Structure 1
């Protein structure tokens, strides 16, 4: 079991997103990613979920359009205690140089410091959290590439 800190930077290779800052949150059940302009579209009978990333701290990803074929909708309780219907996508995340499957709810996190929140559903039985540490996976990645 890997020890992860209170925050880190991860890659989502299927979404072509690298070095995104994540908050590790054992109080949250689900994981989420910041996006906007979320809509279902249909092209030639095939449904897609279309959304845009938007984060001024990541100019190369600002308003990047992402489309996925596989998605679901679930009721998720927000950090404010309100139940919201959100789209959920399945993708992969790279942490400690390993790929893991992850479910991400799509939500507007523009008021939050981190564009990605990693919740306990993903962390369970894979990671232990040490809140005195941060960027453990990111440091390992950079040491291996030097």
Structure 2
């Protein structure tokens, strides 16, 4: 009987313990609660894509076609294309290459992917963060939003989807970090 009472007390007390460890500033930073699948906007179009909010992934991943790595003024850059299939809008983006990463796939093989820093709008949250680039056309969701983007700003309700449309009023600039204004994204239709 004593063990049963102790187990009940631990079950009640345990969920509150981690929340107490978070500082007030950490709690205040969290903006909103989102579903596990949401719409996001990327680029100048902006391109609207379905995104899976994945708390198991560290880094975000973006679908990209025609990935081309090149040098400009001695620095490595990446040119790639993203497509908003729903609105039939395509945008070519150029950004500075941050690094390459090796990603272990589900079948155990590894894949080398370029990493760029881009801005993305989720609900009313605009953040610039790192994205790995890969052809995700065989995946259900063209964007995977990782913990690095969500930390301190997003809570995920695994029982909800499409809770908010992107509505960022202010984007940090007309170009993302690592992009030169001369190579800012342009709509392919222009």
| Structure-to-structure mapping, 1:124-139, within 5 angstroms | 124-138=151-165
TM-score after normalising by structure 1: 0.79
Counterpart position of 2:81: 52
Q: Deviations for 1:1-35, whole angstroms, at most 9, x for unmatched residues?
A: 2211011111124x543321111112222210111
**2:148 is the counterpart of 1:121:** yes
Higher relative contact order (CA 8 A, sep 6+): 1
Count of residues in Structure 1 that have an aligned counterpart in Structure 2 = 139
Alignment partners' CA distance in 1, 2:136 and 2:84: 9
Counterpart position of 1:9: 39
Q: Secondary structure at the match of 2:56?
A: coil
**2:99 is the counterpart of 1:99:** no
Counterpart position of 2:138: 111
In structure 2, the gaps of 5 or more residues are 1-29, 170-190
TM-score after normalising by structure 2: 0.62
Structure 1 residue 114 displacement after superposition: 1.1
| Structure-to-structure mapping, 1:75-94, within 5 angstroms | 75-94=102-121
Structure 1 residue 51 displacement after superposition: 1.5
Structure 1 residue 70 displacement after superposition: 4.3
Q: Which has more radius of gyration?
A: 2
Relative to structure 1, the CA distance from residue 55 to residue 137 in structure 2 (aligned partners, 3 Å threshold; closer, same or farther) is closer
Alignment partners' CA distance in 1, 2:140 and 2:111: 21
**2:63 is the counterpart of 1:34:** yes
Q: Which has the higher strand share?
A: 1
Structure 1 residue 96 displacement after superposition: 2.6
